[in-house]
Structure 1
């Protein structure tokens, strides 16, 4: 082959490669559903266009023009009868746990190998993504050290399918408060979280976790270590305030497990981002949270799941006291106007069934439009994810489609027909 023909051959091959690359990355995909929940309200007659990893158009079908995007090839995806939503954002998960009616928490922490827990987590991540949850805030490995960081990295690299992850690594507990605990005071079991105390201890542990890859810091503001195993505060006001100051200096938010009003009050005054559970929260406490800009993650599905595991037959017998208290605390939260984070503590119950929490939020009195917002735009705001949670030009293309209209029936969220994360279609 002459040098001239060789150069021409290389030019043609380079052109073909470039064209293929453009087709793969620059194809304009036009989604045509019956309706679009944009994160805050529902629209009919809308189309959504995606190019690469971004949403480039969201608005009336009549307003879309493919010529505005150059010569990119156009692919139209018909979604008749379906609703488009932003990928749902789960605010409280544990991908390294599985339901307690399968294996108890103690046994998972003490007896399951790291390999088994990671293998399970790979399946959990896939199930979560296929259920339309494209982002999770994973709040503690529960004895699995820093394996959430590795799981997150594997997902980001495309090694395994799964949701985008914000990870907390090890939760932080006061010495002596957390489990597993032996019946003998002479035996000390490995813990499901990191023990740290005082200004120096907390500072060192928080900085260590940030160095290992933590996106968020989680503390247990109270636990069942009071007389008669009652819930009592663990960290002092000073300790919580120090934790927030240390984490904030590195740009990490702090979240606190708290079920008692006193622990919730201390965490709120310390300036945490969210409070998890709040089983005994009262109106005054939620009003303080609302005033201070602290959001509430109620984890209703975990509470109901634990009650069911203990033998409660929902709909057939009266509620246990724990569920009645939970209803009362959630009602007080709604009355106060505090921000509500969608997060079910999934791992206590099955991964992939995350929307149980959303159905319970509606059952307990939250209007369905507010429920849908909590799972999309609301969580994007509270979890500081500005590129997610809304179907809007310029946002990342995390999009799902469900059969039917979730504003009319939230059960539609179980009928996930399409899952796109960062512009890549997984379903």
Structure 2
């Protein structure tokens, strides 16, 4: 009884200021056609339930319609961050080791509800969450609580526990007689079949594997799985209709994961031009997570404009140059959690700094993100029949992605969470 009462109170608290889904006509100054890279003016977007049901000339709007005028605003599809960790918070607040070992799963889930709200209010209406980082299947619970209306936040697909090779992952440095909670689930060889199936059975939407990790003789990153092992993971996941994504920072791990058939490569710091060309050939998407490396470097005392630029930042610059030259598809995935939730636009700004145009970056954060969410035909664009995930900003994000830092209106699934009511 107490649990039911608590759930009811949480639902009331979270949803008290949220309008119900209904027929709404939105009239902005312009909306962004992401596919064409243009601003469209003189149009009204009609939302019914959770979908865009029509786009009509402004002058044809019925006087009986419920109209939300977004004067001076540009309407943009809800943004998508394809690499997030809602169960983590910045490492300069508390280290990753201490989050895994000292924070209870309950605390981490409660923090995640705050992270979800902050992210939604920043204009990100969808997330791929890539690993619970020692919090078991708390990410599945967060996703399910979102579906039930207990909390508010972006649409969420989750990986549950990531898969790592035995002995490769942390926390490390403890005496052998201690049993330490790991940040992911070890598995090898034939046991990979059981682990992938178990994760799927426990609610994972996607499967994440660490194709390499820092387990070399001197702590350097080295590949952790063979191509055959990675193929086993991909084949088992594919049988259930789920994709596999791979953490890979070394060129060899990226190559192996690409040959195995993963959906995306995360990080890719050491990617060569040859490997990025292979990724393009195999239609593997690159998720560079530039913001994570940038944030960690700053936490470790490096400040832009002073001192020596860290090798990690230089390496990322080279990998981005290779990726762009190879023509590989690049998504927006920030690794948020390493830095504060709600500051996700940091990745978009850094992608521009690393050579993408604002139009390419906006596409990475909408159309490409929708593909990774498995929703490319109903998410990521302002089109009839698509889900009503919409935000507004002042200015033109096709020219300056920084305008996305100031979001004044947020609608997800036809419900207004921020802005005009």
Same fold (TM over 0.5): yes
Q: Deviations over 1:151-205 (max 9, x none)?
A: 0111111111111100000000000000001343443411000111112x11111
- SS where residue 228 of structure 1 aligns? coil
Task: Could you tell me which runs of 5 or more consecutive residues in structure 1 were left unpaired when the two chains were aligned.
Answer: 1-22, 68-72
- 1:53 corresponds in structure 2 to 50
**Separation in structure 2 between the aligned mates of residue 182 and residue 317 of structure 1, nearest angstrom:** 31
| 1:151-170 equivalent positions in 2, closer than 5 A | 151-170=142-161
Q: Deviations over 1:225-275 (max 9, x none)?
A: 001001000011110001000000000000000000100000000000000
Task: Could you tell me which runs of 5 or more consecutive residues in structure 2 were left unpaired when the two chains were aligned.
Answer: 1-18
Question: Is 1:129 the counterpart of 2:126 in the alignment?
Answer: no
* Conserved? CA contact 1:182–1:188, under 8 Å: no
Q: Deviations over 1:268-295 (max 9, x none)?
A: 0000000000011111110000000100
* Structure with higher helix content: 1
Question: Is 1:187 the counterpart of 2:198 in the alignment?
Answer: no
- 1:397 corresponds in structure 2 to 388
- 2:209 corresponds in structure 1 to 219
- SS where residue 227 of structure 1 aligns? coil
- 2:104 corresponds in structure 1 to 113
* Conserved? CA contact 2:20–2:415, under 8 Å: no
- SS where residue 408 of structure 2 aligns? strand
**Separation in structure 2 between the aligned mates of residue 136 and residue 265 of structure 1, nearest angstrom:** 26
Q: Deviations over 1:85-135 (max 9, x none)?
A: 111111000000000000000000000011211111110000010001111
1:59 Cα offset (Å)? 5.0
- 1:406 corresponds in structure 2 to 397
* Conserved? CA contact 1:82–1:405, under 8 Å: no
**Separation in structure 2 between the aligned mates of residue 245 and residue 276 of structure 1, nearest angstrom:** 19
Q: TM-score, normalised by structure 2?
A: 0.92
**Separation in structure 1 between the aligned mates of residue 30 and residue 49 of structure 2, nearest angstrom:** 23
- SS where residue 348 of structure 2 aligns? helix
**Separation in structure 1 between the aligned mates of residue 133 and residue 21 of structure 2, nearest angstrom:** 39
* Conserved? CA contact 1:402–1:413, under 8 Å: yes
Q: CA RMSD in A?
A: 1.5
- 1:354 corresponds in structure 2 to 344
* Conserved? CA contact 1:172–1:193, under 8 Å: yes
| 1:28-427 equivalent positions in 2, closer than 5 A | 29-40=24-35, 41-42=37-38, 43-58=40-55, 60-62=57-59, 64-66=60-62, 73-199=64-190, 201-385=191-375, 386-427=377-418
Aligned length: 397
**Separation in structure 1 between the aligned mates of residue 87 and residue 331 of structure 2, nearest angstrom:** 21
* Conserved? CA contact 1:170–1:194, under 8 Å: yes
**Separation in structure 1 between the aligned mates of residue 22 and residue 312 of structure 2, nearest angstrom:** 53
**Separation in structure 2 between the aligned mates of residue 24 and residue 379 of structure 1, nearest angstrom:** 26
- SS where residue 229 of structure 1 aligns? coil
- SS where residue 253 of structure 2 aligns? helix
- SS where residue 134 of structure 1 aligns? strand
* Conserved? CA contact 2:42–2:57, under 8 Å: yes
* Conserved? CA contact 1:178–1:223, under 8 Å: yes
Q: TM-score, normalised by structure 1?
A: 0.90
